[in-house]
């Protein structure tokens, strides 16, 4: 099973449709447009989540070899911490925090499939010394 499909589901064996029509409307007789079959949620390990966070962080920064990811347990669940050069922190955080918010959302969604709570943080130099 692939890394991405393990994290976010999918992996249907049916080929994707290649032809679409503009005038197709959803069947209004269906209650919410969702399938009545149960969702096939797959459990995601912390190792998978750490690998995903590390992959994304390394893709964003100028010095990917200096990115380190660690996990620690706290009262709310687990926290994945991304350590990198000071100049690269802004790239992970993004303009107005949008990049880190998106990463947190993806991790929280994937962790929620296994009923666990995982957060992501990028500590500054002072926190790095403590942790």
CA distance 100 to 80: 12
Q: How many residues are listed for the chain in this entry?
A: 131
- The three-class DSSP label of residue 118 is strand
- CATH architecture of the domain with residue range 44-124: 2-Layer Sandwich (3.30)
* Residues facing residue 121 across a β-bridge: 81
Q: Give the pLDDT confidence score for residue 63 in this predicted structure.
A: 96
DSSP-derived secondary structure for 60-105: HSS-GGG-EEEEEEETTEEEEEEE--HHHHHHHH-GGGHHHHHHHH
Q: What is the pLDDT of residue 10?
A: 61
CA atoms within 13 A on the CB side of 97: 6
Distance CA 98, CA 45 (A): 25
Q: What pLDDT is recorded for position 115? A: 87
Question: CA-CA distance, 42 to 61, in Å (whole number)?
Answer: 30
| pLDDT digit string (tens) for the chain, length 131 residues | 566 566 566 655 555 555 555 555 555 555 555 544 455 556 778 899 999 999 999 999 999 999 999 999 999 899 999 999 999 999 999 999 999 999 999 999 999 888 889 999 999 876 654 55
Predicted model pTM: 0.68
pLDDT at 37: 45
Provide the residue ranges of all domains of the chain, joining segments of one domain with +.
44-124
């Amino acid at each position: 099973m692939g890394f991405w499909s393990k994290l976010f589901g999918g992996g249907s064996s049916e080929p994707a449709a290649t032809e679409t029509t503009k005038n197709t409307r959803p069947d209004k007789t269906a209650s919410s447009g969702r399938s009545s079959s149960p969702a096939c949620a797959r459990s995601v390990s912390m190792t998978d989540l750490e690998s995903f966070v590390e992959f994304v962080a390394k893709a964003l920064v100028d010095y990917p070899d200096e990115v380190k990811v660690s996990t620690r347990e706290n009262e709310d669940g687990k926290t994945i911490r991304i350590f990198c050069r000071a100049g690269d922190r802004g790239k992970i955080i993004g303009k107005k925090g949008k990049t880190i918010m998106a990463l947190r959302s993806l991790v929280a969604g994937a962790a929620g499939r296994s009923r666990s709570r995982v957060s992501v943080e990028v500590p500054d130099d002072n926190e790095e010394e403590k942790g």
